[in-house]
Chain A
């Protein structure tokens, strides 16, 4: 993999050659072909998809539906009917909580882990409140891992739904979703997987994992902001009521009644993000042109270097697992005596972009007994030189904050 060549595909790196962008868990950068795919949609096929009978609208529809097929193949779904386009993971998970949630009854239980991002936590918490469901918490061990015991403890015969992230956006730990989905099915629960951090960085096949639903965002995997995906097993999506009502999600509408369009359009009310879908498809094709397994390998190597670099710096503590491979490119760390916001600000002065804060995971922050952390998250296009710069910057932190060493 020629990183120099790859970086030339990203206009932002051309515009900011000195910036080390290490906040990829928040959003990635986008290659030019993704931006061009969006532009081309508007320049060469712009009409309202799924509406008109004229040629332009047909072209817009084709681009939109072709993108759905690209997504389907990417995650190994059986049919494009199982691929619903949304704005992002957050919307996908809210759709589920609202729509699948309406099928749950008072006294039913749902289980989520303490690792969850707020977008896979608040929708369920609020649903539980509204429908008087019981929310059960799946705990983590001292390395941030969910053990089978802990998982089983949170389940009962009343558990109807389990929702869990594939990869933690704070610790980088990967949950054994395949095993947990199987156990959830044994008690009759459906299994929702938040793939926002996982889908961009590890190969995902929904049937191999055995998950019933999978949510992910385009913008964390080289795609545009404002396009995301909800995969759902057809039998389940069929049973679920619409999430939003409006145009293009209906079959028949009268004054008193309406019937719903077939899948997946039942869940895509209103004008869709055609250009966004085109951009997401281009992003997936970009991954595939390089080869997903090469990307995974490259990120493992960079992760190894990042872990080693951080581990060797005095006063630095990495949160979570004690080995690089378990982090999947995500490293939350603390520097003794330096608040994470000060870390991020000083690193920014050195043109190194890292995240500081609670990372939308306040429940996990409480578990870890911290208010906030600094976080480095890498992508395949990062360079060894950037990681070395990160290390040098962190090494200088305490001195720059007024400490003697």
Chain B
């Protein structure tokens, strides 16, 4: 009896898969940080991805997209493991990966070992990924961490009159890149960065870090994300901290601004910069926010999409639009598809995006300030919109290359 029914099920599934094969599929592997410190970021990234599918659909001519999701934990080896699994076991043809900075560098290097496949960066923002020795089959439609800080240094110096600041950041490539962008601009304007503290990704107890914050500075810049940011704010509140704050792109983001508890209120009035601003009035942005809100019930999403949701939306959009341009043609090692990807100009919700010769995005950046909407929800309000931000941040490429690669101590605090 049991054997009989097992046989029936097997037969049934054979028949079913038979009908599914009638339509050709294009398999795409997606990775997101669904474990560890950045879990919340990965989840919202996937929401952005889903929103793009809702808006654009999965059809490419007569083919259909099929997505396989793999989870990572923001470490480079977890990303490579996930990507390898997607390629070798699931036989994906295109990758939408990864989310986090160090992962990006590792996946870019890995991409070179698979020149026949195409990699579209999902959200990672380390500078090195596309600036140093870029992979010809790796495309990034989001700006890097330094581009996302454009405008913040000047705003802090000129409008807020901050003269001396200190930074606290997670100890990895994306935050190095963010601090790089901030320091270049702030010190270029005449400010001083007196102290840069680095904490390991996944730090839970920040009490000693908070105690070591200097008190002779005008503001403290926080380059933290996910659980780290929430823990920091909670302990900062318990320690009675009162300094002016400045925030990085994943610190002043819905992933943190809508966390549970009241520790986030320390962020009201904080200035930040990022590739998006929650309250931007642009109709394209508002349409995207609406699509995101309609796609999920309020308890299963943030009030407004996070930077990760936007990045995943944009990269999924690039993937679908480019595939449609070539009508799903992946022959000749995906050459036509890559050509389309390199040329495409996205009318993305967070401004127009096009790629440079390293296949790195040139896009729009936003300086923001955190406001309370009166009902206890926090949002980032636009202060300034800066279009056409490129990877060398407006510097002459020769000058820019002399600054060095973002690290714990680079760049020096001076005018380049």
Chains A and B form a bound pair: no
